Amino acid sequence: MFLNRALLGPILLSLCFVASAQDVRVPRITSVFTPPPKAKPSDDSANLGPFTTGPKPAEVDDATKAKLEGLAKQYGEVARANFGLIIKTLQVKPAKKSKPVRIVVTYGYGGVAATSGAGFGSDPKTPVIEVSAKYALAHPDDLGMIVHEMVHVVQSYPKYDPVWLVEGIADYVRWFYYEPADKRPHPNPAKVTARDSYRTTGAFLFWASNKYDVNLVPKLNAALTTNTYQESMFKDSTGKTLDELNLEWLDSLKAQTH
């Protein structure tokens, strides 16, 4: 009957939590393994002797197929589970109705993983994350790459430029908010600069955020989204130019290694 005042706080808090969790609408994410097309009997180079060209289509046995389907399922789960983390880290307001995302594990893609159709000036079609089946089998524990690719889906910038910063932001989220702390990159100050892209830039952004402005990356992300990014944003945000920050960051890395 009576609501204890001591209980009211936690109840209101949990109501707020539920409300904000509902604000993040995870897009519909499907993830599949697409097996290579079956070789036609006439394609069977074994019967044609040495006078054939081109690679034979990959053959996938049932055990491999099951493994790849299992990995595809896991990728979908990681993508869904971390969408909120990406939105929160970049301080993005997700669209009321986001486009569905497709994750495809395929032998048709030769790299590690790539996102297409997520923006970067392309037609606004369904974002597709392609993962190399060969890579997936060789690195079954690499789920962080899906977080990196999902950041690209959220970014959907009008331009893929500057590449080092776009990739650096994706790895900033991956390595400093998704992966465990003991896996974080430790760039070698003798060999790197802040503009080296990927995890090196990610480490630089993490350092600059902690030292000067916790909202640095959300600000950069917002500017890249509206195509208004300029390098002077670093100075506006931290009081130092990108080059000054780079030198200071490298000095701090050197100090850590001594």
Residue indicated by tokens 């902690």: 210
For Zn ion, the closer of residues 154 and 253 by Cβ is 154
Q: Least separation, in Å, of the C-beta of 253 and Zn ion? A: 23
Task: Print the binding letters for residues 190-219 with Zn ion: x by CB under 5 A, - otherwise.
Answer: ------------------------------
For Zn ion, the closer of residues 35 and 174 by Cβ is 174
Q: Least separation, in Å, of the C-beta of 152 and Zn ion? A: 6
CA distance 236 to 219: 11
Q: Least separation, in Å, of the C-beta of 46 and Zn ion? A: 39
CA distance 224 to 218: 10
Tokens representing 202?
A: 């990610």
For Zn ion, the closer of residues 66 and 163 by Cβ is 163
For Zn ion, the closer of residues 109 and 237 by Cβ is 109
Q: Within positions 112 to 151, which residues make up the interface with Zn ion, using CB under 5 A?
A: none
Q: Within positions 155 to 174, which residues make up the interface with Zn ion, using CB under 5 A?
A: 167, 170
Q: Least separation, in Å, of the C-beta of 244 and Zn ion? A: 27
Q: Least separation, in Å, of the C-beta of 82 and Zn ion? A: 15
Number of residues that bind Zn ion (CB under 5 A): 2
Q: Least separation, in Å, of the C-beta of 171 and Zn ion? A: 8
For Zn ion, the closer of residues 129 and 170 by Cβ is 170
- Single-letter residue type at 53: T
Residue 162 preceded by cis peptide, ω within 30: yes
For Zn ion, the closer of residues 130 and 167 by Cβ is 167
* Interface contacts to Zn ion, rule CB under 5 A: 167, 170
